[in-house]
Structure formats: C-alpha cells, structure tokens
Amino acid sequence: MDTTQLLKGVLDLAVLAVLRDDDGYGYDILRRLRTAGLTEIGDASVYGTLRRLFAAGYLTTYVVPSEEGPHRKYYALNPAGRTQLKQGGDVWREFASTMNTLLRERA
Amino acid sequence: MNAEIAQYAAQVGAALSDLPEHARNDLLEDLPAHLAEVAAEIEAEGGGATLAERLGPPSAYAAELRATLGHPGGHSRTAAWAGRAVSRVRARWDGLDRRLGPVIGYERLGEFLALLRPAWWVLRGWLVAMLVAQLWRDGDGLGLLPRFEGSTLLGLLVLIAFVVGSIWLGRRTAAAPPARRRTRVALGAATAVVVVFGLGLWAAADDRLMGSFWQESTPTAWVNDPYNQVNDVFVLGPDGQIIQGARLVDQDGSPVVLGYCAQRFGWEGPGGGGRGWEWRVVYPSCPDLSAPQLPWVAVSPAPLPWGTPSPSATPTPSGSAVPSPSVTPSPSASTGPKLVG
C-alpha cells in the first residue's frame, strides 16, 4: 500500500502534531514532518493543509520579519486546534490499535 | 528569483483555473509568500536549484494542492484536453529553452528573454503612444515620434508618460501577476493589439525607407527600367564628335525619353496661367554635364560648347559632373513653357 494514500487521511493530524510544541512556518513544518519520517510528503500538501486548517479555525498566524530573505508566516495552534489535535489523536490511536490487533491476528 | 516565484505561482493558478474564483484566490493568496520561503531555503542550502526542480512542475503542485484540499479533479473533458495541450506545448518550449540557451551562452533561452523584459516595456510604451497618436491624428503623416496637434513637444511628453507607465506596469505584473482572470485576459488582449500595431508600423516604416513612395511619385517607372542608370545620352557622329541637339525618336516618331535630365517637367505660365507637363528630349539633355571620355574614339571629341573651357583639349569628367537632385528642373525654375522638338 502506498504511504501517500494513508497520509491523505492523517495529514491534518500530522501537521497539528508538529505544531504542538513549537510554532513554525511552511517550509519549517515540511522539514519537521520529513525529519519525523514522513519523507514522501510534498510541499503543496503542507501548504494546502495549512491553508485549510487556518480556514477551519484551528490555527493562528503571525508574520516574523526577516532581515535577509522574505518575511515568514508562522502558524500556531489555537485552543480549537489543540482540542482538534487531542480528539484526532484519540481517534487515530484507537484506529491504529484496531489495525494492529487485526494485523497481528492475521499474521 | 522573484520573477520565478511569480511565474510558478501563476502557473499553479492557471492549473487551478477551473476552481471557483473565490476558492482559487483563497488557495493562492499565500502561495507567493510561501514560495518565497521555499526559495529562501533553497538559497540557504547553497542555491542553484529552481523552484520547479525542488517542488516539481507547477501542474503537479496544483494537483497535489487540489488533492489536499479535497477539491475534485473536476476537469471537464475539454478542460482536460486543453490542459494536456498546454502541458505539451510547455514541455516543447522547455526543451527548446534548454537547447537554444547554450547557443547564445545562457543556460536557458528564457533567462536571456527575461533580461530583455525592460526593453520590451519601453518599446511597449512607445508603441502605445504611437497608437494613441495615430488614433488622435488629423491627417498628419506617420513619423517615429507621436505627435499631437502637430506638436512635437506634447508628443514627447506623452511618449515619456506612456513609457514610464509601461515600465511601472511591467514591474508590477512581473512581481505579481494580476489575480483576476479577467484582468489577465484583458492585458493579454491589449498586448496582442499593441503587437499587431507594432508589426504594422514596422512594415509601413520599412516600406517608406525602401522608397516605395518615391517610385510611385516619379513619372518614369523606375521599376524594371533597364535605363535607370542612364543620366544623359550623347549622340556621336561617325567622326566621334558629339552631335549637338540630337533627338531620339522611336518607330512612331515619339520621343525616346532617356536619362535623368530628359524628364517630364512641369511648367507654369506667367501669373499662374496654364500649367502642363513637357518632355525635354534634346540630347545631351543635362546642360551642365560634361561629355564622357571615350577611349575608343580615335579623334578626341571637341569640348562641349557649354562646358567650361579647360586648359587641355580633352574634357575630363570631373566631380561636379555628377548630377545632383538640385539640377532637376523644377516648375519654379522654368518661367514659361519651354517647348523643345
């Protein structure tokens, strides 16, 4: 099975998760996701997800001026985002444990 | 880099052109800023890579965005066909771009063309000024400067205004292509009009510089005239002497008109009464032209009676012998009907 197919469903959760402890800007978030092991993730996916989460009201943004290079738009979790992360996390853990059980029995 | 970002964002936008405008604008709003971050990262990592190399082609980027946002692929069959056609053309251009670039010492042809952009802005400003002047004009001819009411100064001011405006517009659209599709289409259509006008202007100017207006206005058709090199005709007798006042006639007795001076010229009667055209057909016809040197004539020809007597008996063609436009008989020069023949 293709990882990208799996990723589609949980990309929101993944992005919320990497923003849990530290705010970040687009490219930085992409790098964190890749460092965490989601190496196949694309820039457009992250950019699109950030736009969507922001539109849904889970993120706040602020711009940090940079002396060299462009200003950076940082994204941060707001309370709604934290709630969403917690709920999504619960759903995922339950789903994952079900899948794990399922796969163990079959194996 | 900024131009590259704008171009990439515009291409992503074009690939999403089937989305409702507000959804698309929502999606693209932050894209240039985001791409600028990516570009800055590329730079920080040592640079060299293009956005397309890092992020994949804009169409793929758009497809990924579309998938992430849950927008349906939503291409109608026509749109899908058009999309494929566009990417085919783009791929071909990309190949040409890479192949032709090195010929003129650039990595890509596009790089060189991008350098020419400001030149195009200036040219565009001039063309628009010329176009406006043409629409404005009241019977003035076509020049290289726009003129309004015959005023060169006003024309210059307008020219400067349009050139500055064009540069401003160029910089603006290069930094951020207009988001609205309608604006882009309008700009494209205006550019097409300017280009077509420019080609027309160029053709007209070329035509004039080639002198076709001159050919139309001269009485003797110069085109295909085997005698157009003939300035004057000297008729020699068997003794090698020039026969003065000779006339050439054809089988019908009509005068044979040859040479620069043997032309139709206008005359005007005293007090403006009576105008007409006459043929001057007595040879030699140019009054101040020296006789040619004729090495094959055994007897040296006598000097022309109207020629300045030279110390030696042999007249030599001197520099002053070359006819200049000023010797062309003009209506004002002849005071009355001068009938010859």
Residue B187 has pLDDT above 60, yes or no: yes
Interface list for A 17-46 with B (CB within 8 A):
25-27, 42-45
B175 touches chain A (CB under 8 A): no
Q: What is the pLDDT of residues A65-89, one digit of tens each?
A: 877 777 888 999 999 999 999 999 9
Detail the DSSP E strand segments found in B220-286. Answer: 246-247, 264-268, 275-279, 282-283
Degrees, nearest 5: CA angle B331-B336-B339: 100
Residues 6+ apart with CB under 8 A from B200: none
Residue A100 has pLDDT above 80, yes or no: yes
A89, burial (CB in 10 Å: exposed 0-12, middle 13-18, buried 19+): middle
User: A69–B36: do the CB atoms touch at under 8 Å?
Assistant: yes
* Residue B16 or residue B336, greater confidence: B16
Q: So what's the pLDDT on residue B111?
A: 86
Q: So what's the pLDDT on residue B265?
A: 57
Which own/partner pairs from B70-77 qualify as long-range (CB within 8 Å, at least 24 positions apart)?
B71/B19, B71/B23, B74/B18, B74/B19, B75/B18, B76/B18
DSSP assignment of B207-222 equals HHHTTHHHHHHSSS--
Q: So what's the pLDDT on residue B203?
A: 87
**For residue B120, what are the CA distances in angstroms to B46, B116, B117, B174, B195?**
32, 6, 5, 12, 11
Confidence of residue A98 (pLDDT cuts 50, 70, 90): very high
Tell me what percent of the residues of chain B surpass a pLDDT of 70. 69
Degrees, nearest 5: CA angle A86-A88-A94: 100
Q: What is the pLDDT of residues A30-69, one digit of tens each?
A: 999 999 988 888 888 889 899 888 888 899 999 888 777 7
Least confident of A1-10, A91-100, B195-204: A1-10
Least confident of B24-28, B128-132, B322-326: B322-326
A49 touches chain B (CB under 8 A): yes
Distance CA B8, CA A44 (A): 12
Confidence of residue B325 (pLDDT cuts 50, 70, 90): very low
Mean pLDDT of B225-252: 77
Q: How far is CA A70 from the centre of its chain?
A: 23
Mean pLDDT of A14-40: 90
Q: So what's the pLDDT on residue B108?
A: 85
Q: What is the largest CA-CA distance in chain A?
A: 57
Contact list, A70 vs chain B (CB under 8 Å): 33, 36-37, 39-40
Q: Which of A45, A55, A72 sits opposite B68 (nearest CB)?
A: A45
User: B68–A11: do the CB atoms touch at under 8 Å?
Assistant: yes
Q: What is the pLDDT of residues B125-153, one digit of tens each?
A: 999 998 888 887 655 566 778 877 777 88
Cβ pairs bridging A and B (under 8 Å): 65
Q: What is the pLDDT of residues B91-102, one digit of tens each?
A: 888 888 888 888
Q: Which of B38, B55, B65 sits opposite A48 (nearest CB)?
A: B65
Residue B73 has pLDDT above 60, yes or no: no
Distance CA B291, CA B307 (A): 9
User: B27–A51: do the CB atoms touch at under 8 Å?
Assistant: yes
Residue B323 has pLDDT above 80, yes or no: no
Contact A80, A58 (CB under 8 A): yes
Contact list, B36 vs chain A (CB under 8 Å): 69-70
Residue A28 has pLDDT above 60, yes or no: yes
Degrees, nearest 5: CA angle B184-B189-B191: 95
Three-class SS of residue B82?
helix
Contact B194, B124 (CB under 8 A): yes
Contact B112, B97 (CB under 8 A): no
Residue bearing tokens 């020049």: B143
The answer to whether the complex's ipTM is over 0.85 is: no
Interface list for A 61-90 with B (CB within 8 A):
66, 69-73
Least confident of A62-66, B56-60, B110-114, B304-308: B304-308
* Residue B329 or residue B32, greater confidence: B32
* Residue B337 or residue B34, greater confidence: B34
Residue B340 has pLDDT above 50, yes or no: no
Angle of helix B2-15 versus helix B21-28 axis, rounded to 10: 150
Considering only CA atoms, which of A45, A66, A70 is closest in space to residue B175?
A70
Residue bearing tokens 């290079």: A69
Q: So what's the pLDDT on residue A29?
A: 92
- Full 3-state SS string of B133-152: HHHHCCCCCCCCCCCECCEH
Residue B165 has pLDDT above 90, yes or no: yes
The token duo for B315 is: 């007249």
Least confident of B17-26, B111-120, B139-148: B139-148
B193 touches chain A (CB under 8 A): no
Interface list for B 49-88 with A (CB within 8 A):
54-56, 60-62, 64-65, 67-69
Contact B3, B41 (CB under 8 A): no
Closest approach of B114 to chain A, Cα-based (Å):
22
At position B141, the amino acid (one-letter code) is G
Least confident of B65-69, B125-129, B284-288, B297-301: B297-301
Q: So what's the pLDDT on residue B298?
A: 56
What is the model's pTM?
Answer: 0.40
